[in-house]
Structures are given as structure tokens and as C-alpha cells.
């Protein structure tokens, strides 16, 4: 039986996916604004942040509305997970905005070094986000679990990049401003990967009713 609740849940899912694609694009454009030294792109990311913010509000409102109908089991998990996913997506977009703003500052000075680590981190983080959202759409918790393992790699690159930037600052104090900006960018990408991990964990909870956060539910 095709229930009316199913239609409303499908609408909520659709909304989340659109929100996810906006967040993905924000990350991608923010990193490009840095690599390609494009102020226009950076400003665009900053300006578009409110779109994702609005989605968060809309998703929460729809979820509260659905919760008042006393859903059970899978439906109940879906709605609570939807609220958490939207919160993580909103934070991802915030991190993208942070990167875009630092790009604007970095673009004022000559490039410190060839960017190798940042595109690599961004690539993994975006892939994690994409896979987590795909796992959500296609009901594939096993794919979501794969995402979680990749977070370590992003953490490692972030740490290594911080060490490298520290050495730049010690050698030449004139690089400090640029190094600090790059540290913020690196940290933002590390946080994006964390949020993608959170989404993946929620996807596992949604489809397997297993809470694997903080190393639990194994």
C-alpha cells in the first residue's frame, strides 16, 4: 500500500538530496577558488551559503511535522536521521564558506607553495560526502561504512600539512599570515570529512538500526 506518509517522506528525502548537492558544490567551488585563485568563485560560495541554511530550516520544519504523526521503526529513524544529515550538510557548507573567505585573503599575496595536499584532502572529503549521500539514496549501509575508514587519511594529511606549515613559519615569519590561512583551510577540509563521516554513520543507523558512532555497535 502506497501510504501518504511515504509521499511526504519521499519529499523530505528529495529536499535533503538537493541540499546535499548544494553543499557538495560549495565545497568543490571553495577549493577551486583557492587553487585557481578566483575571487569571483570565492564570493559566489560566500553568497550561496544562505541557500543551504534555508534548506536546514525547511528540512527541520518538515521533519517536525512528520514526527507529529507518530511514525514508527524505519520511518521514525528516517526522520531523525534526516534532521541530523541536514545539520551536517549545513556545517559542511559553513566550512566551504570558511575556505572561500580564506581564499580571498590568500589571493591577495603570492602563492606560498604549490598546492598538493589541499586538492588531495578536498578530493577525499568530497568523495566521502558523495559516497555517504549515495549510500543514503541507494540504501547501501555497507558503502557508508567504507566512508568512515577514509576519514583517517584526511586527518593524517591535515596533521602532516600543519607540520609543514609550521616549518615555513619558523623559517620565514613573512609567511605566517598565509600559513595561518592555509591551516584554517586544511582544518576546514578535515571537518568536512568529519561531517561526511557523521552522515555515513547516520546512514548505517537508518538502514541497520545499529549505532556505530564513537566505535560502538560493531
Partner 1 sequence: MTESPIKSVVVKSSAPPAEASQTPFIEVENLSLHYGTTRALKNISLKLGEKVVTAFIGPSGCGKSTFLRCFNRMNDLIDSVHIDGVIKIGGQDIYEKQVDAIELRKRVGMVFQRSNPFPKSIYENVAYGLRLQGIKAKQEIEGRVERSLRDAALWDEVKDRLQSSALGLSGGQQQRLCIARAIAIRPEIILMDEPASALDPIATAKIEELILELKKDFTIIIVTHNMQQAARISDHTAFFYLGELIEFDRTHKVFTNPAKRQTEDYVTGRFG
Distance CA 135, CA 144 (A): 6
- Which C-beta is closer to partner 1: that of 68 or that of 163? 68
Is residue 114 at the binding interface for partner 1, with CB under 8 A as the rule? no
- Which C-beta is closer to partner 1: that of 75 or that of 201? 75
- Which C-beta is closer to partner 1: that of 67 or that of 183? 67
Distance CA 102, CA 94 (A): 13
- Which C-beta is closer to partner 1: that of 1 or that of 114? 1
Q: 93 burial class (0-12, 13-18, 19+ CB within 10 angstroms)?
A: buried
Is residue 73 at the binding interface for partner 1, with CB under 8 A as the rule? no
User: What cell numbers appear for 57 in the block?
Assistant: 530550516
Compute the least distance from the CB of residue 202 to partner 1, in Å. 23
Compute the least distance from the CB of residue 70 to partner 1, in Å. 4
Greatest Cα pair distance, the chain, in angstroms, is 69
Distance CA 189, CA 55 (A): 22
Assess contact for 66 and 36: CB atoms under 8 A.
no
Compute the least distance from the CB of residue 186 to partner 1, in Å. 41
| Binds partner 1 (CB under 8 A): choice among 10, 50, 53, 65 | 65
Other CB atoms closer than 10 Å to residue 168's CB: what's the count? 17
| Binds partner 1 (CB under 8 A): choice among 1, 110, 171, 215 | 1
Q: Which residues here bind partner 1, judged by CB under 8 A?
A: 1, 3-5, 64-65, 68-70
Amino acid at each position: 500500500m502506497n501510504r501518504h506518509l511515504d509521499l511526504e517522506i519521499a519529499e523530505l528525502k528529495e529536499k535533503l538530496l538537493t541540499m546535499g548537492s548544494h553543499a557538495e558544490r560549495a565545497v568543490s567551488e571553495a577549493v577551486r577558488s583557492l587553487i585557481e585563485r578566483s575571487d569571483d568563485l570565492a564570493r559566489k560560495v560566500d553568497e550561496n551559503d544562505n541557500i543551504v541554511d534555508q534548506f536546514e530550516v525547511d528540512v527541520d520544519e518538515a521533519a517536525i511535522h512528520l514526527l507529529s504523526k507518530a511514525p514508527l521503526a524505519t520511518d521514525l529513524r528516517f526522520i531523525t536521521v534526516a534532521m541530523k544529515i541536514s545539520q551536517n550538510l549545513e556545517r559542511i557548507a559553513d566550512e566551504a564558506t570558511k575556505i572561500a573567505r580564506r581564499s580571498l585573503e590568500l589571493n591577495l599575496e603570492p602563492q606560498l607553495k604549490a598546492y598538493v595536499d589541499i586538492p588531495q584532502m578536498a578530493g577525499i572529503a568530497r568523495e566521502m560526502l558523495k559516497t555517504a549521500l549515495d549510500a543514503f539514496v541507494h540504501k547501501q549501509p555497507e558503502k557508508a561504512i567504507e566512508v568512515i575508514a577514509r576519514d583517517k587519511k584526511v586527518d593524517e594529511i591535515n596533521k602532516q600539512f600543519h607540520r609543514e606549515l609550521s616549518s615555513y613559519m619558523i623559517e620565514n615569519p613573512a609567511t605566517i599570515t598565509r600559513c595561518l590561512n592555509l591551516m584554517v583551510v586544511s582544518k576546514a577540509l578535515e571537518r568536512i570529512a568529519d561531517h561526511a563521516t557523521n552522515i555515513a554513520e547516520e546512514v548505517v543507523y537508518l538502514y541497520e538500526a545499529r549505532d556505530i558512532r564513537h566505535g560502538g555497535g560493531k
